[in-house]
Amino acid sequence: MEEIQKEVHNAFEVIQKGGIILYPTDTVWGLGCDANNPEAVKKIFALKKRAESKSMIVLINGDRMLHQIFKEIPEVAWQIIEFSDKPTTLILDHPKNVAKEIIAPDDSLGVRIVADPFCFRLIERMKSPLVSTSANLSGEPTARTFQEINPIILDGVDYVVNLHQDRKATPPSTIIKLTTDSKVTIIRK
């Protein structure tokens, strides 16, 4: 438990200064920063060599933060959150209180409530959503293990979280788009 606290402290220090981190999530290794820091978000786009027109998701630690980010949350979102048995990312309309650089052109944002203790505690300490995008260069496959992460990514981050580097990633999250008019689209199972 103390190891997690130490890594939360180290990652928080970097994020607070506008840095980007490489960290384990509930699914794959991710690149992250404060979702309210436009300059840090731009650093992630540049590192991944990813078009800024592509959105990224944010990780949150519970219902309260979900309400801080979205004006309206469709009722079905709560049912999906309650009954999902695997990590699930919801794409919801009209986000607020986050950097505009992470919002999709259609004014939506992907969000996932985390279960991973490190991510949960880091978000709790940040009091802000944590940007999350897979730790790979745009167009490359997602790394399944820490060892598969491209050296360009490893060299380009400000901090590498020293947890779970021996763990194999689980499949990426399910992605479900929910519009405020209750339209549901499954993007990835």
Domain boundary assignment for the chain: 2-188
pLDDT at 169: 80
DSSP code for 101: G
Which residue type occupies 177? K
Q: Are 64 and 86 within 8 A, CB to CB?
A: no
pLDDT at 148: 93
Task: Give the residue from 114, 113, 117 showing the smallest Cα distance to 163.
Answer: 117
**Thinking of the domain 2-188, which architecture would CATH place it in?**
Alpha-Beta Complex (3.90)
Task: Give the residue from 117, 101, 119, 121 showing the smallest Cα distance to 109.
Answer: 101
Q: How far apart are CA 80 and CA 124, in angstroms?
A: 23
Residues of the chain with pLDDT under 70: 1, 53
pLDDT at 1: 60
pTM over 0.75: yes
Q: How far apart are CA 145 and CA 159, in angstroms?
A: 17
pLDDT at 85: 87
Burial state string for 146-159 with b = 16 or more CB within 10 A and e = fewer than 16: beebeeebeebbbb
pLDDT at 189: 82
Give me the residue label for tokens 């199972």: 189
